[in-house]
Structure 1
Amino acid sequence: MHIILITPAPSGSRAGNRATADRWASLLEKVGHKVSVVTEYEGAPCDLFIALHAWRSHDAIQTFRKCWPETPLVLVLTGTDIYRHQREYPLPTRASMAAADVLIGLHALVSADIPEEFAGKLLTLYQSADEIPPATNKAAASGTFDVCVIGHLREEKDSLRAAMAARLLPDESTVRILNAGKPHNAQWQALAEQEVAENPRFQWLGELDKPTTQDLMAQCQLMVMSSVMEGGANVISEACRAGLPILASDIPGNRGLLGNDYEGYYPAKDQAALAILLQKAESDSAYLRRLTEQVSELAPLFTPENEQHSLERALEMAFQRRSNLEG
């Protein structure tokens, strides 16, 4: 088939939406489809249309549905769609959901936070990641307990919460926060620079390419996922595949990937609670080992084979639902 996939993120961007679009194009092309990844849509024909982001892709979705009312449409719900835009911009966001034949949610709890009328066309897809072999002796290399925070610096990511927590640790702690990400704007640039100047436990690495990010994850003993909203972060998939334990804010987007039994949650935006867990992870080898075992048990969810199977299932569902509607 010829598939058009629209994403708001331009070519070359390291935004999550662009990474998802490019990875899906590769997976779909492996099974014989032709995929055109675009950022603008003006009515070109295709056999199936995939849109990333309900609100940002609203105009494209409406154009597509008007031009090609019988062609299947798959919509991927992002974290901002689910936890912000369907409340701030309910009409366009829900219009996109209504126009889609299949909705893809990127974690297992999405159904609880979208209108009940759309639950029947929701499919859960776990984003995949390459396996990253962990370093054999992480602590010996630097003499520090290295904790990575990976993602663009912005409000939704609560990007400096781990740095704030590190300030609360006792003097004997060797925790070092290594933050990799591009600032969303000048304000976040200034905040990161201020944290570097004031916090000796904090290093800001800027935006890293994929191989360097993988090297960082292999180096670190722990990752902090501090977001206040997430649609299902691919960096969690990457950490699980790397066997890298995670301390995660207790939000649906994290719980929907790591599960209710995961032992590394802290209340979102609570640096005091996060500091307690950071100290426990550094000082209690049994606790760190338990988190490592838990993420390793989850790793099979996040294989490329599993993601490709879910993608193919989404396409089948879209054609079936469109056929039923037309029939």
Structure 2
Amino acid sequence: MSRPAILIVTPAFADANNGNWQTAQRWARFLSEDYRVTLAKSWEAGDDQAQPDLLLALHARRSAASVRAWAEKRPGKPLLLVLTGTDLYQDIQSDAAAQASLRAASALVVLNELGLRALPEGLRAKAHVCLQSCAPRQALADKPRRWLRALMVGHLREVKSPQTYFDAAKLLAGRPDIRLDHIGAALEPALGAAALALMQRCPQYRWLGALPHQQTRKRIQAAHVLVHPSRLEGGAHAVIEALCSGTPVLASRVDGNVGLLGEDYLGLFDWNDAAGLADLLRQCRDDPAMLTALRKQADARAALFHPDQEKRRLRAIVAGLLSQTTSLQEGIAP
């Protein structure tokens, strides 16, 4: 008997070097043991590829055309919609296409523990939480003691709030023992220009540009803290990679970050609060107990993001949708 076919639609492919592509690729690997899995940027009814049994779409707005076509041409076939950052916390509030995607989906997935409360109340019953994962790495025990190395991983675009990181670096200009590295492409040229100017003004800030994923993971592992100041997030992979590498996180207090780190996490600062971030960085450098406490909290959360956990949850959601569809087609109550 042929294995069911799943098409994963993701607006981001490998050239985007972002979290959506990593999620799509990882989920394809998790599901390929039991299903025939294909990755594509979109789906249309006239596609030559074999008609899949389930569509798994990332992003409510950017995949809206594929979701609409599926709902019209494949009625009764399951559609699993994964809500990332900008669609969960921005697009579904006002964008008609994103809202239509929510209604058309058989089931929804959010990527952090607080994500359900961003959904319209009437849609929460068909939503699931599926925390993302990454392969764990051994925490490094020999990080330099002469300085604190902070690292931000995020492309230079407004939603990632690099300006907060820039401003914190300026506030720490008199602290050469606090070094701030930054990985990410200048997707907004003005922010790239600001990063270049900041390197001239504050030598302890280094913009490293876009780096391959494995190099980025090594730098996360080597940093004393990861800084994640975003305005909104669905479930940032950089945060997860830090937690699974023994590297504590300093993050903006927004649902997408708190939903990964926990509401009692000590390394949270208000969004757009550069002074609050600078204070936390000083604490991490000047008070060994602070960094130790953050490490303990990070280690306690890390188990939530093990690949086995994500794989088990994803496969259960997909199997449930396919089983329910089969039961309905056979006239059996699910």
Task: Report the TM range for the smaller structure's normalisation.
Answer: over 0.9
Tell me, in whole angstroms, the C-alpha distance in 2 between the residues paired with 1:282 and 1:60. Answer: 49
TM-score, normalised via structure 1 length: 0.94
- How far did 1:82 drift? 1.5
Distance in 2 (alpha carbons) for counterparts of 1:221 and 1:163:
18
CA deviation profile, 1:73-131 (whole Å, cap 9, x unmatched): 10000111121111231x21111011111100000111111101110011101110111
What secondary structure sits across from 1:261 in the alignment? coil
Within the candidate set 47, 55, 58, 2:64 is matched to 58
Q: Which residue of 2 aligns with 1:163?
A: 166
- Counterpart among 232, 247, 254 of residue 229 in structure 1: 232
Residues 181 and 208, structure 2, Cα contact 8 Å, conserved in 1:
yes
1:28 aligned onto 2:31: yes
Partner in structure 1 of residue 322 of structure 2: 319
Q: How does 1:111-122 map to 2 (within 5 A)?
A: 111-122=116-127
Partner of residue 150 from structure 1, selected from 134, 138, 153: 153
Alignment partner of 1:262 is 2:268: no
Structure 2 equivalent of residue 134 of structure 1: 139
Which runs of no fewer than 5 residues in structure 1 stay unpaired?
A: none
Q: How many residues align?
A: 323
1:60 is displaced (CA, Å) by: 0.5
Mapped to 2, the partners of 1:169 and 1:189 lie a distance apart of 20
Q: Is the 8 A contact 1:101 1:321 kept in 2?
A: no
Distance 2:295 2:138 in 1: 13
Query: 2:39 matched to which residue of 1?
Result: 37
Which of these residues, 239, 245, 249, is aligned with residue 246 of structure 1?
249
Alignment partner, residue 301 of structure 1: 304
Letter in 2 for 1:303: H
* Conserved 8 A contact 1:183-1:189: yes
Distance in 2 of aligned mates of 1:264 and 1:131: 21
2:84: which partner in 1?
78
Q: Distance in 2 between matches of 1:248 and 1:172?
A: 21
Q: Percent identity?
A: 33
Per-residue CA deviations over 1:22-65 (Å, capped at 9, x if unaligned) read: 11111111x23221100121224101110000011111101111
Q: Deviations over 1:191-230 (max 9, x none)?
A: 2212222222210011111211111012211111100100
How far is 1:172 from its partner?
4.4
Deviation sequence 1:109-158 (CA, Å, 0-9, x none):
11111101110011101110111223221115xx3210000011111110
Q: Which residue of 1 aligns with 2:12?
A: 9
Taking a change above 3 Å as real, the CA distance of residues 262 and 109 of structure 1, as seen in their structure-2 partners, is same
Question: Could you tell me the TM-score, scaled by structure 2's length?
Answer: 0.92
Cα distance in structure 2, aligned partners of 1:128 and 1:49: 22
Q: Which residue of 2 aligns with 1:272?
A: 275
Q: CA RMSD, aligned part only?
A: 1.6
Counterpart Cα distance in 1 of 2:110 and 2:97: 18
Instruction: Give 1:325 deviation, angstroms.
Output: 6.9
Distance 2:106 2:321 in 1: 5
Deviating 4+ runs (over 4 angstroms): 320-327
Q: In the superposition, relative to structure 1, how do residues 86 and 168 fare at CA in structure 2: closer, same or farther (>3 Å)? A: same
Q: Which residue identity is paired with 2:143? A: K
Which structure 2 segments of 5+ residues have no match? none
